[in-house]
């Protein structure tokens, strides 16, 4: 991304007076964050007295888990949709599910933290832009997982902060799908056609813990399984961050999963049945230098169908 633009010495095209600091939102903006776990809800443009511009956003975490880093991109285009300037806001903090994080939107509103939702001192262009495009391209969650633009996530809130039925959003990769093929600018992917009653499962865990884990089996999608397992793990962890999906269960060959640890070493595994899976994780624990005991396996689970 190029260093973000603002309006130049020709900012008079956008504001009545460059000398007078003020908000001016006459350039329309296009919200491209509709398929992101972080929804942009409002924007503002402020003219500094030195002729530079400050751009800000409000955003809301509409996913089912807290985020710690958000990457917002800005682009101003001319009437032919050609980029004139762009910029990146990389916002760090703790952004809980359903919570609105506000930028500086007007002279009277907001607080000192509101300025963290802004890109300031943006130098200008010689002509007035036709459109401002704002998008979210990258989100890192407090449990260590990461979302990138185009990937799936679990939506739990609407952009206004209202609860919605937990719904997977975006493409859900098919486990075991073949890599994409690109020929002559065309892209195609292949995969296997599965049963309409296919089952998915997940074991989520805080690595090293003997008690903070969550299990979900026989879910209708991998996203649903991840959500249920992460929720159970977080509840057992009593709010301590660190839960992450460590074993995913799907199909006949990966129907069962297990975790083993001696609190210094650990192993995870999955397989076609519980017996083989338990044997494999115990052997992997030993190979890793761990000690096998009667309580080495802290959790195990199987889908009841493929």
**Where are the chain's structural domains?**
9-157, 200-302
Pull the structure tokens for residue 29.
């903006």
Q: What pLDDT does 197 receive?
A: 60
φ, ψ for residue 285, nearest 5 deg: -65, -45
Q: What pLDDT does 188 receive?
A: 63
**Could you give the CA distance from residue 189 to residue 191 in angstroms, rounded to a whole number?**
7
pTM: 0.53
* Average of per-residue pLDDT across 4-22: 43
DSSP character at residue 156: E
* Average of per-residue pLDDT across 169-173: 62
Do 17 and 118 touch, CB atoms closer than 8 A?
no
Which among 216, 202, 212 has a CA at the least distance from the CA of 242? 212
The CATH code that applies to domain 9-157 is: 2.60.40
Q: CA dihedral defined by 13, 15, 17, 21, rounded to 10 degrees?
A: -140
Do 170 and 221 touch, CB atoms closer than 8 A?
no
| Residue, of 306 and 33, whose pLDDT is higher | 33
Q: Which of 7-16, 19-28, 37-46, 274-283 has the lowest mean pLDDT?
A: 7-16
**Could you give the CA distance from residue 38 to residue 70 in angstroms, rounded to a whole number?**
8
**Could you give the CA distance from residue 127 to residue 87 in angstroms, rounded to a whole number?**
18
| Residue, of 172 and 127, whose pLDDT is higher | 127
Q: How confident is the model at residue 119 (pLDDT cuts 50, 70, 90)?
A: very high
Q: How confident is the model at residue 165 (pLDDT cuts 50, 70, 90)?
A: confident
């Amino acid at each position: 991304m190029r260093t973000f633009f603002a309006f130049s010495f020709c900012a008079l095209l956008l504001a009545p007076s460059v000398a007078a600091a003020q908000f001016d939102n006459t350039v329309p903006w296009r919200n491209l964050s509709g398929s992101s776990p972080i929804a942009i809800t409002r924007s503002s443009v402020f003219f500094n007295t030195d002729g530079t511009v400050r751009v800000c956003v409000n955003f809301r975490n509409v996913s089912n888990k807290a985020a710690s880093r958000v990457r917002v991109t800005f682009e101003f285009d001319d009437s032919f949709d050609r980029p004139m300037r762009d910029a990146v806001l990389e916002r760090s903090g703790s952004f809980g599910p359903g919570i609105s994080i506000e930028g500086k939107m007007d002279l009277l509103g907001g607080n000192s933290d509101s300025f963290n939702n802004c890109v300031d001192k943006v130098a200008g262009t010689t002509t007035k832009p036709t459109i401002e495009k704002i998008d979210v391209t990258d989100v890192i969650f407090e449990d260590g997982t990461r979302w990138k633009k185009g990937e799936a996530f679990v939506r739990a809130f609407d952009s206004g902060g209202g609860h919605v039925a937990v719904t997977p959003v975006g493409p859900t990769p098919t486990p075991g799908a073949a890599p994409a093929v690109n020929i002559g600018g065309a892209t195609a992917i292949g995969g296997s056609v599965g049963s309409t009653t296919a089952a998915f499962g997940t074991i989520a865990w805080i690595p090293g813990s003997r008690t903070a884990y969550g299990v979900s089996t026989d879910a209708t999608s991998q996203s649903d399984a991840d959500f249920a397992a992460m929720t159970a793990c977080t509840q057992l962890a009593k709010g301590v961050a660190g839960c992450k999906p460590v074993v995913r269960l799907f199909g006949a060959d990966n129907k069962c999963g297990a975790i083993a640890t001696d609190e210094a070493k650990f192993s995870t595994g999955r397989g076609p049945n519980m017996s083989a899976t338990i044997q494999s994780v115990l052997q992997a624990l030993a190979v890793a230098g761990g000690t096998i005991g009667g309580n080495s396996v802290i959790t195990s689970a199987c889908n009841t169908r493929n």
